[in-house]
Amino acid sequence: MLRKYLDKIKPNFEPGGKYQSLRSVFDGFETFLYTPRSTSQSGVHVHDSIDSKRVMIIVVAALMPCLLFGMYNTGYQNFIGSGITDLNFWHIMLYGFLAILPKIIVTYAVGLGIEFIVAQWRGEEIQEGFLVTGILVPLICPIETPVWMLAVATAFSVIFVKEVFGGTGFNIFNVALVTRAVLFFGYPAQMSGDRAFIASSPICGLGGTVEYSDAFTGATPLNQIANGADAATDAAGHILSTWDAFLGLYPGSFGETSTLCVLLGAALLLITGIASWKIMASVFAGGLFMGWIAYTFQSPIYPGSAILPIDQLVYGGFAFAAVFMATDPVTAARTGIGKYIYGFLVGVIAIIIRVYNNGYPEGAMLAVLLMNALAPLIDYCVVQANISQRMKRLRA
């Protein structure tokens, strides 16, 4: 039925047709709905069922626990902050849903819009890369980020970080993280501080207006520690245990506070083999290692060094970055040994920035971006090792 309709309207989109300028868009939707019939014309006669659509959709599925938890957490923080005592689960979820929905829609509309235009301009198929980026961006930004800022930053990074390099598969830096970085450096007032991480106003009659006070500062745990607090607390002022921090019911960027949900996503990525366990494991190893060094050589000048190494992993965006950001196959190291080095350094640098730079209480974003830049160098060394082994054999 749908197939017949598509076949009927297809000629309009072919060269010479009425809507030929929308050809890439039509192809994009057609291949989204139906697996293309194109068969192998050279080389192997059978192909694995996996394609990049499958890869991307699994990553999106792995992000769902974080998205759902983010909705709950957003609603919860607002309800607590505005003094609502009736914590109805569905009200909280609905509030969070309404808070994030415009951001998801805007990011996808801007990003996919640019992808569609570029694909048509180049005469190529639409690529799926932005399916993941579009959901990552709202998840790693504070909930109070204005929608227009998201649109500007997304457009900037899709164009200048991805498309100018040639599109999906050719970018050097992680597109979602650059979006975050553009926001962070371009609009520091709105993106950091204590009041960005909690949705502060009612939406469609749900929730309330948050009133900040000494008892309710809205600061993230890492911010509190960087500012000299003895122990991190949640928004209501209760001291966070490692377990509380692991569960993630505290102020932070929308989808990255719950290490539990991040690990649920990680499990899906590892079971399906979509993300590299080498990178994931070595980021955590690097974080633990650097956390341990910082903890061993504690200094009152750097309050972050008093955090237990295990707490370093569950606070802030560290786990999220390890599982979803560092493992982006395009911008990470591509060789086996390179992945261990890359991941370990991401972990180490994230903690170094977090602990020894009081200006930025969160280091994961900058660590991944820095290592994105260094990944080709790491791979170059691994490839050279393979080459010199071959040359040695030749001389022997």
Partner 1 sequence: MSKTSIRLHRGLDLQLQGGLTPESPVKVVKPATVAIIPDDFPGFTPKPSVREGDTIVKGAPLMHDKINERICLVSPTDGTVKAIVRGERRKILRIEVAAEEGQSAGRKKFSIAPDAGREEIMNAMMESGLWAMMRQRPYDIVPVPGTEPVNIFVTAFDSAPLAPSLEREVTGKGKEMAKGLETLAKLTGGKVYVSTRDDWSLALPPEVHHIIIEGPHPAGNAGVQAANIAPVNKGETIWTLDIVTAVRIGELMLYGYPEWETAVAVTGSEVKDPMTVRTVAGSSLSPVLKGNVKEDGRNHRVISGNVLTGDKESANGYLHYPYRQVTVIPEGDDVDEFMGWASMSPNKMSASRSFVSSLFKGKKFAPDARLNGGRRAMIMSEQYDKVMPMDILPEYLIKAILSRDIEQMEKLGIYEVAPEDFALCEYIDPSKLELQKIVRQGLDYVRK
Residues found near partner 1 in the complex (CB under 8 A): 2-3, 31-40, 42-55, 57-58, 125, 127, 129, 166-170, 271-274, 276, 329-330, 332-336, 339, 383, 386-387, 389-391, 393-394
Q: What is the Cα–Cα distance from 334 to 364, expressed in whole angstroms?
A: 20
Which contiguous run of DSSP H or E holds residue 104?
helix 89-122
Q: How far is CA 296 from CA 326, 339, 360, 389, in A?
A: 26, 27, 21, 40
Which CB sits closer to partner 1, 38 or 296?
38
Q: What is the Cα–Cα distance from 175 to 85, expressed in whole angstroms?
A: 40
Which CB sits closer to partner 1, 92 or 270?
270
Q: What's the min distance (Å) between Cβ of 383 and partner 1?
A: 5
Q: What's the min distance (Å) between Cβ of 259 and partner 1?
A: 24
* CA proximity to 180, closest of 168, 192, 171: 192
Q: What's the min distance (Å) between Cβ of 34 and partner 1?
A: 6
Which CB sits closer to partner 1, 131 or 235?
131
Which CB sits closer to partner 1, 14 or 124?
124
Q: What's the min distance (Å) between Cβ of 166 and partner 1?
A: 7
Which CB sits closer to partner 1, 8 or 37?
37
Phi and psi at 203, nearest 5°, equal -125, 125
Q: What's the min distance (Å) between Cβ of 86 and partner 1?
A: 39
Q: How far is CA 254 from CA 76, 81, 143, 146, 343, in A?
A: 12, 16, 6, 13, 24
Which CB sits closer to partner 1, 192 or 327?
327
State both tokens at 318.
């560290």
Q: What's the min distance (Å) between Cβ of 52 and partner 1?
A: 5
Q: What is the Cα–Cα distance from 368 to 333, expressed in whole angstroms?
A: 11
Which CB sits closer to partner 1, 36 or 146?
36
250 within 8 A of 237, measured Cβ to Cβ? no
137 within 8 A of 107, measured Cβ to Cβ? yes
Q: What is the Cα–Cα distance from 88 to 110, expressed in whole angstroms?
A: 34
Q: What's the min distance (Å) between Cβ of 73 and partner 1?
A: 28
Q: What is the Cα–Cα distance from 139 to 133, expressed in whole angstroms?
A: 10
Q: Taking the chain, what is the end-to-end CA distance rounded to the nearest angstrom?
A: 67
- Furthest-apart CA atoms within the chain: distance in Å: 79
Which CB sits closer to partner 1, 272 or 357?
272
Q: How far is CA 177 from CA 73, 167, 183, in A?
A: 22, 16, 10
Which CB sits closer to partner 1, 57 or 94?
57
State both tokens at 279.
């990178």
Which CB sits closer to partner 1, 167 or 287?
167
Q: What's the min distance (Å) between Cβ of 122 and partner 1?
A: 12
Is 94 exposed, middle or buried (CB count within 10 Å of its CB: 0-12, 13-18, 19+)?
A: middle
Q: What's the min distance (Å) between Cβ of 99 and partner 1?
A: 28
Compute the half-sphere exposure of residue 116: CA atoms within 13 Å on the CB side of its CA. 14
Q: What's the min distance (Å) between Cβ of 379 and partner 1?
A: 8
Q: What is the Cα–Cα distance from 306 to 298, expressed in whole angstroms?
A: 6
Which CB sits closer to partner 1, 55 or 293?
55
* CA proximity to 284, closest of 301, 262, 305, 303: 262
Q: What's the min distance (Å) between Cβ of 39 and partner 1?
A: 4
